[in-house]
Structure 1
């Protein structure tokens, strides 16, 4: 098989708990790029917060906000903001339940409040920099949302409208946080649009992920790898299981496909 494109999640896939990237991962990415394989970072994070990670890996193409926006070599391919009514409805419910929320636009992270310790911890965990207090006039610009709940089971107290669901953040210390995922706007749908745009077949695409927001992504490619440290429910959606993010998971997966030369 001739592979033409590679999609890499960030947290728990290329980024270790200490926020560093293994040398083996860097080597693996360089080797596939040298073979002409297009490489994307595909993440729930906002694109404006991941450029430095891209620079470190010499990657300038991104799927961000869990599939709501895609850039190919700096050029925007698509952007799908959330419906204003959905944003308002979720904000109302979160306020009643005393949950904090972060709403991502294409240039900032808007928090319902910057004061609570839970927000401080969230910002520190993901090293977010462009943080502001949310204002209602941003409701039509929201590309993605994360709810910072009080406990891992608080998600069950929400009644979500059709077409959206929660995805638990698969990062230690942040499992009480849940991304809002749209059924028709996610990493998998984003990849399908990109493959069509770039005229690449599904079978020629590879993806690595570790969280449940990677479920659709792994199903949208020909070779989907779940990291060894992945959420236990993700493995059923992957074609392969590789080693963990701290044990050369990306390197070993690409080696399995014959794309790495030692």
Structure 2
């Protein structure tokens, strides 16, 4: 099989818990790019927060906000803000239940309370820089939402619309945070649209992930890899299981396919 596209999650897949990546990961990306494979970052993070990493890895195509926005080089392929009325409802639920939240636009991260300890922990965990306090003035621009300080029994509060589900964040220290995912707007749907744009078959694409927000992505490609450190429920969606993010998981997975030396 000649593979033509590679989609990589960031946190827990490229980046280790200390926010660094192994040299083998960078080397593996270089090797597949040299073979003509298109490489994409595919993340729940906003695109404005990943430019430094992208430059280091020489990657210029992205899926951000869990699939709500996608760029192929400089061409916008997906741009799907959440309905403003739904955003207002999410804010109402968060306030009623003492949850914190962050709303992502194409240019900033809008938090419920920047002074909250859980918010500070979250911004440190994801090294977020473009942070502001949420106001309703941006409610029509929201591409993604994460809610924090959510008890295990509470995610269903936000699932009042069957088109939405919550996905637990698979990052140490912020496990009580959940991404709000749309069934029709996710990493997998974005991959399908990008593959159509670049005329690549599903079977010619590869993806690596570790969180439950990666389940659609791993099913949208021919070769889906779950990292050894993945959320336990993710393995059922992956064709392959590779080593952990701290043990060259991307390199070893690509080696299994014969793409790196």
TM-score range, shorter chain: over 0.9
Work out whether residues 159 and 166 of structure 2, in 8 Å CA contact, stay in contact via their aligned partners in 1. Answer: no
TM-score, normalization by structure 1: 0.98
2:87 matched residue in structure 1: 87
Relative to structure 1, the CA distance from residue 157 to residue 137 in structure 2 (aligned partners, 3 Å threshold; closer, same or farther) is closer
Matched length: 261
TM-aligned CA deviation for residue 160 of structure 1: 2.8
Q: In the aligned structure 1, how far is the partner of 2:160 from the partner of 2:239?
A: 30
Query: Matched residue of 2:110: which SS?
Result: strand
Q: Secondary structure at the match of 1:132?
A: strand
Q: Is 1:152–1:177's contact at 8 Å kept on the other side of the alignment?
A: no
Q: CA deviation at 1:244?
A: 0.2
The answer to whether the 8 Å contact 2:41/2:61 transfers is: yes
Per-residue deviation, residues 211-258 of structure 1 (Å, max 9, x unmatched): 000000000000000000000000000000000000000000000000
The aligned runs of 1:38-117 (5 Å cut-off) are 38-117=38-117
Aligned partner of 2:169 in structure 1 is 169
> Would you say the 8 A contact 1:108–1:131 is kept in 2?
yes
Instruction: Answer whether contact 2:70 2:79 (CA < 8 A) is retained.
Output: yes
Q: Moved runs in structure 1, 4+ residues, more than 6 A?
A: none
Post-superposition shift, 1:46?
0.2
Matched, 1:146 2:146: yes
Asked if the contact 1:68/1:80 (under 8 Å) is kept, the reply is yes
Q: 1-side partners of 2:127 and 2:248: how far apart?
A: 23
Cα deviation code 1:27-46 (max 9, x no counterpart): 00000000000000000000
Could you say which residue in structure 2 is the equivalent of 1:187? 187
Structure 2 distance, partners of 1:86, 1:220, is: 27
Q: Which residue of 2 aligns with 1:203?
A: 203
| Secondary structure at the counterpart of residue 140 of structure 1 | coil
Structure-2-length-normalised TM-score? 0.98
CA separation in 2, counterparts of 1:221 and 1:160? 30
Q: 1:215: which partner in 2?
A: 215
Partner of residue 122, structure 2: 122
Cα displacement (A) at 1:56: 1.0
CA RMSD between the two structures: 1.0
Contact 2:189–2:216, Cα closer than 8 Å, also in 1: yes
User: CA contact under 8 A between 2:93 and 2:157: conserved in structure 1?
Assistant: no
* Cα distance, 1:63–1:206 mapped onto 2, change above 3 Å: same
- 2:37 maps to which residue? 37
| SS of structure 2 residue aligned to 1:33 | helix
3-state SS of 2:71 partner? strand
Q: 1:115 to 1:48 in 2, by over 3 A?
A: same
Unaligned runs of 5+ in 2: none
| CA deviations over 1:146-184 (Å, ceiling 9, x no partner) | 001244443245443110000000001111000000000
Superposed CA deviations along residues 76-122 of structure 1, whole A, max 9, x for unmatched, are 22200001111111110010001011000000000011111111111
Look up the match of 2:241.
241
